[in-house]
């Protein structure tokens, strides 16, 4: 059971890494707008270079 003394800190450190990731995401503005990004895949167009090919 002694291994738990290693596993618990390890688990918390892993979770903390994810928390850091979350903090970075919020700070870089990824949570400022949670609505528009969900619309973008719907309107992926044919080809941005279409005009160039003409």
Partner 1 sequence: MQNLTTTVADYPDADAAPALQVPEADAGACFHCGTPLRGAVFVSGCKSFCCQGCLTVFELLTENGLGDFYRLGKAAGARARAAPKEEEFGYLDDPALRRRLVDFEDERWTRATFRVPSAHCIACVWLLENLFRLKPGIGYSRVNFPRKEVLIAFEHSRVKLSEVVRLLTALGYAPDFNLSDLEDRPRHPVSRRLWLQLGVAGFAFGNIMLLSISSYLGLDAFSGPGLKKLFGWTSLVLALPVLAYSASDYWRAAWLALRRRILTIEAPIAAGIAALAAWSAGQVLTGRGPGYFDTLAGLLFFLLCGKWFQQKTWERLAFDRDYKSFFPLSILRKNGRKEERIALSQLRAGDRLVIRNGELIPADARLVCGPAMIDYSFVTGESEPVEKAAGDLMYAGGRQIGGAIEVETAKEVSQSYLTSLWNQEIFARQNKPSLETLTNRYSRRFTKLVLAVAAGAALFWSWTDSSRALAAFVSVLIVACPCALALAAPFTLGAAQRILARRKVYLKNPSVLEVLARVDTVVFDKTGTLTGSGAGSVVFWGEPLGEEEQRRIRSLAEHSTHPHAVRIAQAIPGEPFSQPVRSFTETAGCGIEGIVAGREIWLGSAAWLESRKVTVPSPAARDGSRVHVAINGNYRGCYTLANALRPQAEEGIRRLSAHYGLALLSGDHEKERGRFEGLFGNSGPVHFNQSPLHKLQFIGQLQAPGRTVMMVGDGLNDAGALRQSDVGVAVVESIGAFSPASDVIMSAAMVPRLDEVLRFAKSSVRVVRLSFVISALYNVVGISIAARGLLSPVFCAILMPLSSVTVVACACGLTARLGRRLDLEPGRPEGRRP
Binding site for partner 1 (CB under 8 A): 1, 4-5, 8, 11-12, 15-16, 18-19, 22-23, 26-27, 29, 31-33, 35-36, 39-40, 42-43, 45-46, 48, 50-51, 54
Tokens linked to 34: 């949670």
For 1, the 3-state DSSP assignment is coil
Q: How far is the CB of 22 from partner 1 (least distance, A)?
A: 5
Tokens at residue 1, please? 């059971």
Query: Least distance to partner 1 from the beta carbon of 16, Å?
Result: 8
Question: Cα angle vertex 44, ends 41, 48, to 5°?
Answer: 145
């Amino acid at each position: 059971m002694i291994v738990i003394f290693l596993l618990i800190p390890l688990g918390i450190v892993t979770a903390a890494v994810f928390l850091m990731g979350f903090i970075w995401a919020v700070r870089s503005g990824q949570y400022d707008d949670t609505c528009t990004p969900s619309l973008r895949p719907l309107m992926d167009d044919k080809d941005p270079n279409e005009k160039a090919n003409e």
